[in-house]
Homo-oligomer: A and B are copies of this chain.
């Protein structure tokens, strides 16, 4: 795929997440690796569902997006009010904002590999305050 096609695909994927459409077969292979560990698509969907359960108002905002045919790199900025333990951190009732920098590898137009870093340091500081 070309860069523009890849970008469109990714924007649709994020749209699905924000609409809570978590059946991701259109975007993600049946198996993938997530930060180096093998994972099924169902497990990947459960991971996202778990985050949304802990923070029901979670919104995925694309802040920066760089693509070529094979890779997508995105800076996502989240805003949410955690209601339950989230990324191992306890909620304090406050609205928080934090970033994720994530790379996705595509094979045949679907995600097969994810490398994600979340700004836990900033999130922990906001949830400690």
Contact present for A72 and B64 (CB under 8 Å)? no
Contact present for A66 and B120 (CB under 8 Å)? no
Q: How far is it, in angstroms, between the C-alpha of A106 and the C-alpha of B42 when the chains are bound?
A: 39
User: What are the residues of chain B within 8 A of A101 when measuring CB–CB?
Assistant: 73, 101-103, 115, 117
Q: A117-B119, A121-B120 are in contact. Are A66 and B71 (CB under 8 A)?
A: yes
- Give the number of residues in A that approach B within 8 Å (Cβ atoms): 20
The A interface is mostly helix, strand or loop, or mixed, namely: strand
Q: In chain A between 29 and 74, which residues have their CB closer than 8 angstroms to a CB of chain B?
A: 64, 66-68, 71-73
Q: Does A28 sit within 8 A of B, measured CB to CB? A: no
Q: Does A15 sit within 8 A of B, measured CB to CB? A: no
User: What are the residues of chain B within 8 A of A115 when measuring CB–CB?
Assistant: 64, 75, 99, 101
Q: How far is it, in angstroms, between the C-alpha of A67 and the C-alpha of B118 when the chains are bound?
A: 21
Q: How far is it, in angstroms, between the C-alpha of A117 and the C-alpha of B75 when the chains are bound?
A: 10
User: What are the residues of chain B within 8 A of A118 when measuring CB–CB?
Assistant: 117
User: What are the residues of chain B within 8 A of A25 when measuring CB–CB?
Assistant: none
Contact present for B71 and A68 (CB under 8 Å)? no
| Leading 9 A-B pairs by shortest Cβ distance | A73-B73, A101-B101, A66-B73, A66-B71, A101-B117, A117-B117, A66-B66, A120-B121, A64-B103
